[in-house]
Amino acid sequence: MAQYHPSEDLLAAYVSGAADEPTEALIAAHLTFCPECQEAASRHEEIAGALFERFDGAVAETRSGANAITQCAIDSVSADHKGAPPGSLSEIAPRPLADYIFARAGAADLDAMKWTFYGPGIKRAILVGSRDGALVRLVKARPGAKFPDHHHGSDELTLVLTGAYRDHTGRYGVGDVQCAEASLSHQPVIEDEGVCYAFVVSEKPAIPKGLTAKIVQRVIRG
């Protein structure tokens, strides 16, 4: 059972639809692992439902200038969205996350993804990147692998899919979400529980500490 959960604010944003796409996929994946948060999310939905009923006519006019209800009424059923085909990806990632990753990576097999070196024993597949580095990525690390000491350019969410890692804030296992604030500086180490896959979302790339690490990262970034 997951020990570390997304904040209530994040759950509210997930329920209301304010969370961005990768965050939404991460939360949906965490919910798949966590009955406790399934319950919490349905409480948020109940509140939203009650508000929805009250504010009925006036609802959501400001949602990007469109009226949500009208939109829903006018549009016919959209074509089926393509989900991820069965493959090793869907064995480690809950369905909503597997779909998200598949849509960006175009591969259903973990081996077929485009992995890049990030450090000894650590590889990552960048799903959304910026000029300064990765924003959304799948990370794969061997037991014992040590991440470069780094802090964050922005808040960062990590969801563990397999294995586990530890830093000075705790031990994160399958289904756990670490919400690292921009100010957090840490150096995760992979525990001896097999290969650790994690899905990481941030608004800005991580910032390595120390000159060597910075140079290495710059080289990696190309």
Partner 1 sequence: MTQVWLRADTFDDKKASASTWIFTVARNRFIDVVRKSKRSEIDINDPLLVRGETPAPDARIDRTERTDRLNDAISALPPDQSEVLQLVYMNGMKQQDVADRLSIPLNTVKSRLRLALEKLRKNMEPV
**Out of 6, 175, 188, 208, the residue judged to bind partner 1 by CB under 8 A:** 175
Site string (83-102) toward partner 1, x via CB under 8 A: ----------xxxxx-xx--
Q: Which helix (H) or strand (E) holds 84?
A: none
At its nearest, how many Å lie between partner 1 and the CB of residue 202? 16
Judged by CB under 8 A, the stretch of 18-26, 112-120, 135-143, 204-212 that binds partner 1 is 18-26
Q: Is 25 in the site for partner 1 (CB under 8 A)?
A: yes
Size of the site for partner 1 (CB under 8 A): 64
What are the backbone angles phi and psi of residue 122, rounded to the nearest 5°? -125, 130
Cβ proximity to partner 1: between 49 and 210 the closer is 49
Burial of 166 (0-12, 13-18, 19+ CB in 10 A): middle
Structure tokens that stand for 175 in this block:
């289904």
**Out of 4, 5, 6, 47, the residue judged to bind partner 1 by CB under 8 A:** 47
Find the farthest-apart pair of alpha carbons in the chain and give their distance in angstroms, rounded: 59
Q: Which helix (H) or strand (E) holds 19?
A: none
Q: Give the DSSP per-residue string, 39-85.
A: HHHHHHHHHHHHHHHHSGGGTTTTGGGS-HHHHHHHS-PPPPPPPPP
Judged by CB under 8 A, the stretch of 63-71, 121-129, 145-153, 195-203 that binds partner 1 is 63-71
**Out of 3, 9, 170, 210, the residue judged to bind partner 1 by CB under 8 A:** 9
* C-alpha dihedral sign at 188, 174, 180, 206: positive
Non-local CB neighbours of 195 within 8 Å, separated by 6+ positions:
140, 141, 142, 143, 162, 163
At its nearest, how many Å lie between partner 1 and the CB of residue 4? 15
- Contact 146/119 with Cβ under 8 angstroms? yes
At its nearest, how many Å lie between partner 1 and the CB of residue 58? 8
Q: Which of residues 119-158 bind partner 1 (CB under 8 A)?
A: none
At its nearest, how many Å lie between partner 1 and the CB of residue 98? 9
Closest listed residue to residue 163, CA positions, set 185, 132, 186, 190:
190
Binding site for partner 1 (CB under 8 A): 1, 8-9, 12-13, 15-18, 21, 24-25, 27-29, 31-36, 38-39, 42-55, 59-64, 66, 68-69, 71-78, 81, 93-97, 99-100, 103, 175
